Structure 1
């Protein structure tokens, strides 16, 4: 059993997962990440330039922004995204993403629905900080808060974080952190090439419909 509620409380207690995926799996996964994302960055160079121009025309501020996230083994790294919010969106601090977020620009809403804002993360993948498939990396402040109520939240960092994951293709914005983490640990315990390919195909479906979790 991966998770259980502690008696008389709403604190979730997570069991440490057995990490699946041997050396062969990790080699194939890494090779696929580098080749696919490297080629995507070349093919998408012109569309990315058009996206950048659209962002600049709609609102002031940088086209691409970086945000600190918690990676494998708790290492902090900068994740890259096309800016989808107004520049003063987080003057009051970090907030959990919601489906209807007033901080998001009109074009930003479209980018989020189609996951276009995530394209710069292909560079994170090429660098080895992320993979195409894995638990989504979260911000340090959120991780610290979640760990207080979800004991074992940090087990998500036992593998390289992903651009998409089982939680992202299973539910929507309504999924709670305690629901997402159970799916993340399920992935860690059962990951294999066939599962990754299935999640990639489901992610493409999410991109086409604009549904699913982030």
Structure 2
């Protein structure tokens, strides 16, 4: 969805949708933290760096990250992030510190790191509700390609043609790839989903957004929560 007028409309829909979503789900924000705390030790929310909109469009975004070095003050090195990094919010579904040793790895359908409550939250996509705050902040939109972690983005841009084009729009809470393919568990899944993301980037509209949102709710209410 390009053009200043269309962007203003999309942003207005995002804000209204996020406010309505937070109002309707407010009781869940009271109940779920209690369930998470009773199920396993650790924080209620899981915060993770993701890569968002590349405001330079197809140009690669340069940023600086602090790199800690032994016996030295913090140094800085220039790396390519391909888009603006932001903190994505979720309800925690895995055991606290599950990725400290392994680092970023693919999720799996029967991931042993996921808690009992976490399995329910993931199956219903309720773990994604805190991203409504990301939408209000302007990091995300209701509809768009799902945001990925920096390490994965760097790998995908190098290995998959046109992958960087999906970063020319804001990432979304749901998207065309999600309602057509579900979650991705492998490199091939990412490649298969990209065609839907690129179609949205190139041809998306307000009508497209409303259709994707409607399909998302239909899938959730019909027990197809893997989106």
TMscore range, shorter length: 0.7 to 0.9
How many residue pairs get aligned? The number is: 195
What does residue 44 of structure 1 align with?
A: 25
What does residue 97 of structure 2 align with?
A: 88
CA contact (8 A) 1:169 1:212 kept: no
Find the aligned partners of 1:44 and 1:206 in 2 and give their Cα distance. Answer: 18
Q: Which structure 2 residue ranges, 5 or more long, are not aligned?
A: 55-82
Pairwise CA distance, 1:45: 2.3
SS of corresponding position for 1:72 = coil
Find the aligned partners of 2:182 and 2:108 in 1 and give their Cα distance. Answer: 10
Find the aligned partners of 1:132 and 1:209 in 2 and give their Cα distance. Answer: 20
CA contact (8 A) 1:167 1:213 kept: no
Selected match of 1:76 from 73, 85, 94:
85
What does residue 181 of structure 1 align with?
A: 194
User: Is 1:150 paired with 2:179?
Assistant: no
CA deviation map 1:144-200 (0-9, x unaligned): 111221133111110011000000000134661111112111111110111111100
Q: TM-score, normalised by structure 2?
A: 0.81
Q: Which has the higher contact order (CA 8 A, sep 6+)?
A: 1
CA deviation map 1:110-147 (0-9, x unaligned): 11111100000000000110000000000001111112
Which portions of structure 1, spanning 4 or more consecutive aligned residues, are displaced by more than 3 angstroms?
none
What does residue 201 of structure 1 align with?
A: 214
Pairwise CA distance, 1:213: 4.9
RMSD over aligned CA atoms reads: 1.6
Shift in CA distance, 152/190, structure 1 to aligned 2, threshold 3 Å: same
What does residue 13 of structure 2 align with?
A: 32
Shift in CA distance, 173/42, structure 1 to aligned 2, threshold 3 Å: closer
CA contact (8 A) 2:48 2:89 kept: yes
SS of corresponding position for 1:66 = strand
SS of corresponding position for 2:209 = helix
Selected match of 1:129 from 133, 136, 139:
139
Pairwise CA distance, 1:44: 2.3
Q: Which structure 1 residue ranges, 5 or more long, are not aligned?
A: 1-19
71-80 vs 177-186, which deviates more?
A: 177-186
